[in-house]
Amino acid sequence: MEASFFSFGNRLLTCSSSKRRKRTFLSPQKPKRIILSFKPISFSPLLSSKPIAHLQHNSFQCSATHDHHHAHHHHGHGEGGGGKLNTSQEAILSFAKSTGWFDLSNFLREHLHLCCCSTALLLAAAVSPYLIAKQAVVKPIQNFFIAIAFPLVGVSAALDAVVDIAAGKVNIHVLMALAAFASVFMGNALEGGLLLAMFNLAHIAEEYFTSRAMVDVKELKENYPDFALVLKVNSDESPHFSDLVYDKVPVHDIDMGSYILVRAGESVPVDGEVCQGRSTITIEHLTGEAKPLETKVGDRLPGGARNLDGMMIVKATRTWKNSTLSKIVQLTEEAHLNKPKLQRWLDEFGEQYSKVVIVLSLAVALFGPFLFKWPFIGTSACRGSVYRALGLMVAASPCALAVAPLAYATAISACASKYFFSYRAVVDHSIGKDLPSVSVESFESLPGRGLLATLSGIEVTLFHFEDKPRPGVTDVIAALKNQAKLRVMMLTGDHESSAWRVGNAVGIKEVYCSLKPEDKLNQVKNISRDSGGGLIMVGDGINDAPALAAATVGIVLAQRASATAIAVADVLLLQDNISGVPFCIAKARQTTSLVKQSVVLALSCIAFASLPSVLGFLPLWLTVLLHEGGTLLVCLNSIRALNNPTWSWRQDLQRMLDQLKSCLAMFLKRPPTSSTIQTAS
């Protein structure tokens, strides 16, 4: 087993280069795909979206797009919540339940079209002075629209804010609710209603973009049947269709070696090998391969493959826990639960930042009249210090900053959509071909030259076998060295001559050979220490496990990896191919860049909206629009991680321009010219 190191600047990467194996695939036409599951060292997402929960008296939970102390979550106080209620919260919820406030809040949350209706009514109230000439008629119409619309957006916001304040939390919902209800007391109920309505609408849009960034494993789970038809077999021979006796067994209880009957319209419950029957299956939901695949005896099928017609008997080669589809779901969910350092810092920073915003807003409200001669309440012509303070409270809310780590979740989605399965390994073996045994009559070893032997009276020729690099590994090494700017090294336990032959074949100039597992571990530690940076290792054998654990990032090729290697790895490639390594590195760099861009964009939006609000240039509703617009811009920037990564910013810029041109062309709906048609033909 060979292992290689790659270095970028002061960072090193190790890669394992194993012996070549002949393989065929169920879907040779489909481009190779990979699924990557990342632990915190590589990728981690924002918390996954959850449906809005109902309030329960015994628990409290805030869940939705991003559940930060300062984030834009739709409050739900639900079962299995995140923490116990204190006495104040229990009293508030008891009062809410007894008065119907509780039920009404949840009803309004669950019917998002009411939010759209309230926004339409508030906008109608806002434009009515420009449409109706008689001012005596305008005011009653405005009050009527506001009286209907404000409760639709204000009831839930008030309950959320009160419960959060009782818990000692100061988040974006508290800030928005304070600003909205303070506007009502100041006589600006229309602006307060628009604030809450646009806040809710912006979050609906934000949740849409976030849902695109989160891997939806629900569909994958639905492809797993709850039960399987396990055949009763009395001998070691595989069963036949002529005599089928089966039990209905939960898929979790299927043992390796069990024979499973899969009928038309059913899904293969676990990974297995076809023993009887021919059929047509689809794995589009797993690999994206839309073309149905013909299967025959000997083909290996992934768990979750759908049987379109015919009937098959499949021998289980893996248990449910270790099956392909189960692994995809498990690894993706684990990846989404991990938080990177930046997100953990934002979680801690957010609540403190929100408190600072409230203090600054109070300072503007209290000291503005003394320092800048602003009126305390003010009018539409001259906005008072309280109005300016509310604008600062809204503009400086850290919503855009909170959603900046969304790029991590998007990267998880991009990686999980690249899965690729390699099955049906084909190996010629003497036992399988039933070759006859022979007697060895003489044998002589000539050191450095070869062997002499007589077998059953016949002199034979010795064939010398040597290691072959994996297909495509030369291109991978070249990409890592030239595009990723990595230093490449190889660690192997093979003999010097064999190791250097492989190294020269794939373009690796630094080779360490004849290494035991402990030697590889020491080399990883020494190289990491001397380089002064991180180190990434790629391997798959049990002898690579210590070095994988010691590396900054360990990457494992799961198809051939030992259980020990998988347990210590940080990145898992569900393919028997090293080509996923460059994608992994490029995706990590892309994600880091997008998160940094999002943080800068968020801070810029906060600064851009805060100063004009304090100076009184912006009305409150426009401040909300700018604030939520900045948050949506951060979301849009984050979902760019769904695109394939590039090695340079120029390529990324060119792709953005191409996408913009494509969108403009679709918007304008320009028909293709004759020259374009001629070229296409």
Which is more confident, 318 or 447?
A: 318
pLDDT at residue 565 above 90? Answer: no
Q: What are phi and psi of 617, to 5 degrees?
A: -80, -25
> What is the pLDDT confidence band of residue 1, given thresholds at 50, 70 and 90?
very low
Which is more confident, 6 or 124?
A: 124
Q: Which among 275, 298, 325 is the end of a domain? A: 325
Which residue in 321, 192, 203, 201 sits closest to 253, CA to CA? 321
What mean pLDDT, rounded, does the chain reach?
Answer: 73
Q: Which residues pair with 14 in a beta bridge?
A: 5, 537
DSSP classification of residue 570: S
209 and 96 in one domain? yes
Which residue in 469, 576, 566, 497 sits closest to 4, CA to CA? 469
Q: Is the pTM of this model over 0.85?
A: no
Instruction: Examine residue 28 and state whether it is found in any structural domain, yes or no.
Output: no
Q: Which among 325, 356, 376 is the end of a domain? A: 325
> Which amino acid, 306?
R
529 and 677 in one domain? no
Three-class DSSP category at 604: helix
CA dist list (Å): 400 to 67, 113, 388, 515, 631: 13, 25, 21, 50, 4
Three-class DSSP category at 241: coil
611 and 561 in one domain? no
245 and 288 in one domain? yes
pLDDT one-digit tens code per residue, 597-620: 888 898 898 988 999 989 988 888
pLDDT one-digit tens code per residue, 67-92: 333 333 344 444 334 457 888 889 99
pLDDT at residue 463, rounded to an integer: 55
Extract the tokens encoding 364: 């503007």
pLDDT at residue 43, rounded to an integer: 27
Instruction: Examine residue 431 and state whether it is found in any structural domain, yes or no.
Output: no
181 and 69 in one domain? yes
pLDDT at residue 416, rounded to an integer: 64
Question: Lowest mean pLDDT: which of 204-218, 341-355, 576-590?
Answer: 204-218
153 and 88 in one domain? yes
Token pair 């070691």 is found at: 236
Instruction: Examine residue 479 and state whether it is found in any structural domain, yes or no.
Output: yes
246 and 208 in one domain? no
- List the CATH number of the domain containing 561: 3.40.50.1000
Cα–Cα distance for residue pair 273/296, rounded to 1 Å: 9
267 and 148 in one domain? no
Q: Which residues contact 201 (CB under 8 A, 6 or more apart)?
A: 115, 116, 119
Cα–Cα distance for residue pair 16/23, rounded to 1 Å: 19
Question: Lowest mean pLDDT: which of 51-60, 156-165, 588-597, 607-616?
Answer: 51-60
Please give, one letter per residue, the 3-state secondary structure of 323-350.
CHHHHHHHHHHHHHHCCCHHHHHHHHHH
392 and 367 in one domain? yes
Instruction: Examine residue 623 and state whether it is found in any structural domain, yes or no.
Output: yes
- Host H or E run for residue 44: none
Instruction: Examine residue 667 and state whether it is found in any structural domain, yes or no.
Output: yes
Instruction: Examine residue 391 and state whether it is found in any structural domain, yes or no.
Output: yes
Q: Write down how long the chain is.
A: 681
603 and 566 in one domain? no
Q: Which among 280, 297, 325 is the end of a domain? A: 325
Range of the domain at 275: 222-325
CA dist list (Å): 156 to 96, 390, 538, 599: 11, 20, 51, 30
Question: Lowest mean pLDDT: which of 260-269, 286-295, 378-387, 392-401?
Answer: 286-295
Instruction: Examine residue 385 and state whether it is found in any structural domain, yes or no.
Output: yes
70 and 6 in one domain? no
pLDDT one-digit tens code per residue, 403-439: 887 887 777 767 766 543 322 233 334 444 444 556 6
389 and 308 in one domain? no
- List the CATH number of the domain containing 252: 2.70.150.10
C-beta separation of 556 from 577 below 8 A: no
Q: How many domains does the chain have?
A: 3
Please give, one letter per residue, the 3-state secondary structure of 520-562.
HHHHHHHHHHHHCCCEEEEECCHHHHHHHHHCCEEEEECCCCC
Instruction: Examine residue 440 and state whether it is found in any structural domain, yes or no.
Output: no
Q: Which residues contact 278 (CB under 8 A, 6 or more apart)?
A: 294, 295, 296, 297, 310, 312
Question: Lowest mean pLDDT: which of 52-56, 82-86, 98-102?
Answer: 52-56
CA angle 421, 427, 429 (to 5 degrees): 155
Which is more confident, 640 or 336?
A: 640
Please give, one letter per residue, the 3-state secondary structure of 268-321.
CCCCEEEEECCEEEECHHHHCCCCCEEECCCCEECCCCEEEECCEEEEECCCCC
CA angle 589, 594, 598 (to 5 degrees): 150
Which residue in 422, 253, 413 sits closest to 324, CA to CA? 422
